Amino acid sequence: MTRAPSAHAPAPARSPSPPLPAGSPPTGDTTPRDQASGLAAQRVRWSVAGRLVLDDVDVTAPPGAVTGLLGPNGTGKSTLLRLVAGVQRPDGGTVRLVGAAIDGSVAGRAADATGEDLLALDRRRRARTVAFVEQDATSELPVTVLDAVLLGRTPHRHLLAGPTAHDRDVARAVLARVGAEHLADREVATLSGGERQRVHLARALAQEPRMLLLDEPTNHLDVAAQLATMRLVTELARDGVTVLTALHDLSLAAATCDHVVVLAPGPAGRVVAAGPVADVLVPEVIDPVYGVRTTVLRHPRTGRPVLTFDEA
Ligand SMILES: Nc1ncnc2c1ncn2[C@@H]1O[C@H](COP(=O)(O)OP(=O)(O)OP(=O)(O)O)[C@@H](O)[C@H]1O
């Protein structure tokens, strides 16, 4: 479902963030970093063990915006993120980074999009382009937080070289940006779930990606940390990073996303609605997909939708 764009303004960043250190060494990536690119995934299909999990799914995520990927359990959100990230290969469809022409009100029908074929990128180039924070990502390795974040710099340096002073500056800057600077010398394995979540986000930021894929980034986080994480994600989007994030909390999505894509169960996950938050997060869309009765209120200060639910 595609709805007309609304005048819904993105939430402004509320506080400045430490910038990343300037002067990245040459990486061989010829794409200018200030050239914002959106995501256009089209007709994506994926099956496992003879079962179709995603069926002809179209998803766009415009540059300079946060796009929420929503849907009940098991509708294929994580699978779609893994396919876009290149962790798994789709059985069909295309995944491209395209110019600013796409817009979130278009449910993936950027049919004339050419852009850069993400599925064709080699691993190293892809890691300089796309960073992915998986749901409940674990780290069994006995490494410090700083070393874990430095792993995010690997695609930016020569294969056999160790981290440079610039890599360390970037790692410390991204740790500060996620509010985890004080954890730098701790072993990752000793962190709480919320602390670990921030470290995984910092590792992704250390990649300096053009596109950030997040699978439930607010899992394990207290309410203040949830808001801080989504504010950071919004700031990154305003800096030109394309953000696609799976979320379960529909009110958090309403408060923080610019666009949303809703997957619904069926024989296979499929997109039932996509567009600006105020157009898509409405009872007519949410109730049949989640099997609930939704009431939409207005936030008295921001004017954004606030959703409450009753059993159907
Ligand atoms: N490797 C796999 N082997 C078998 N089934 C899989 C595999 N990966 C995903 N699935 C199935 O595909 C469907 C979609 O899973 P996925 O994790 O993508 O859903 P999701 O929307 O992210 O769910 P949740 O909201 O619960 O995290 C589920 O039914 C899941 O069991």
Residues 112-131 pLDDT 10s? 456 789 999 998 889 999 99
Substitution site in 51, 53, 83 for ligand 1 pocket (most atoms within 8 Å of beta carbon): 53
Does the beta carbon of 57 lie inside 6 Å of ligand 1?
Answer: no
Asked if residue 268 lies in contact with residue 52, where contact means CB atoms within 8 angstroms, the answer is yes
Give dist(CA 115, CA 62) in Å, integer.
13
Q: What is the pLDDT of residues 175-195, one digit of tens each?
A: 999 999 999 999 999 998 889
Give dist(CA 18, CA 49) in Å, integer.
46
Between helices 193-206 and 223-238, what is the axis angle to 10°?
A: 10
Q: Which atom of ligand 1 is nearest to the CA of 49?
A: 4
CA 196-182-18 angle, 5° bins = 95
Model pTM above 0.80: yes
Using pLDDT thresholds of 50, 70 and 90, give the confidence band for residue 32: very low
Tokens of 12: 């402004």
User: What stretches of 35-137 adopt beta strand conformation (E)?
Assistant: 38-48, 51-61, 66-70, 92-98, 116-117, 130-133
Instruction: Find residue 98's DSSP bridge partners.
Output: 38
Pick 38-311's CATH classification: 3.40.50.300, 1.10.3720.10, 3.40.50.150, 3.40.190.10: 3.40.50.300
Res 59 pLDDT > 90: yes
Ligand 1, atom 31: closest residue by C-alpha: 74
* Strand-pair category, 130-133 with 211-215: parallel
Domain boundaries, the chain: 38-311
How large is the ipTM?
0.98
Mean pLDDT of all residues in 35-51:
89
Ligand 1 center to residue 73 CA distance, Å?
8
Secondary structure class of 237 (helix, strand, coil): helix
Ligand 1 center to residue 83 CA distance, Å?
12
Mean pLDDT of all residues in 292-303:
96
Q: Which pLDDT value is given to residue 36?
A: 61
Does the beta carbon of 289 lie inside 6 Å of ligand 1?
Answer: no
Ligand 1, atom 1: closest residue by C-alpha: 48
